[in-house]
Amino acid sequence: MDTTNDQSFEPARESDAPDNDHIETNLGPSLPGTSSLQLPSQQKQLSLLQLVEDCPLLELKLELETTLERFLADQKERQQEQREHKRTRLSEQQDLQRQTIDLQKRALDIQEKAMNMQERLMALMEKVMDKLN
């Protein structure tokens, strides 16, 4: 049997072919009670729309984060400077204490020498008084 001339199989005409550009679904928001259902493309559009709407909030958030980072950096720097200043002041106080102790030792040495000289002077005066008597 020759099937090459069989007319029972005809290709579909273009007007009968399904239209691939537009697909109708039952999930669209046009159905009552389905407005909460969203297609993934609708969700993407909503999230992009929300990002655009939230843009001033994002800018404000970034600005606040930048300000906070600067504040924390400044605070850390100030604390570092305060610690260094405190260290320097403590070192200076210790130096002054050492100098004070050295001066007190010298003053005691001078007082001791003065007392020795006074004792000698008293002894010399006694000798002079003894010779005069």
pLDDT tens digit sequence for 20-56? 554 444 444 444 444 455 556 767 666 766 766 667 7
pLDDT tens digit sequence for 65-114? 999 999 999 999 999 999 999 999 999 999 999 999 999 999 999 999 99
| 20-45 exposure pattern, b = at least 16 Cβ within 10 A, e = fewer | eeeeeeeeeeeeeeeeeeeeeeeeee
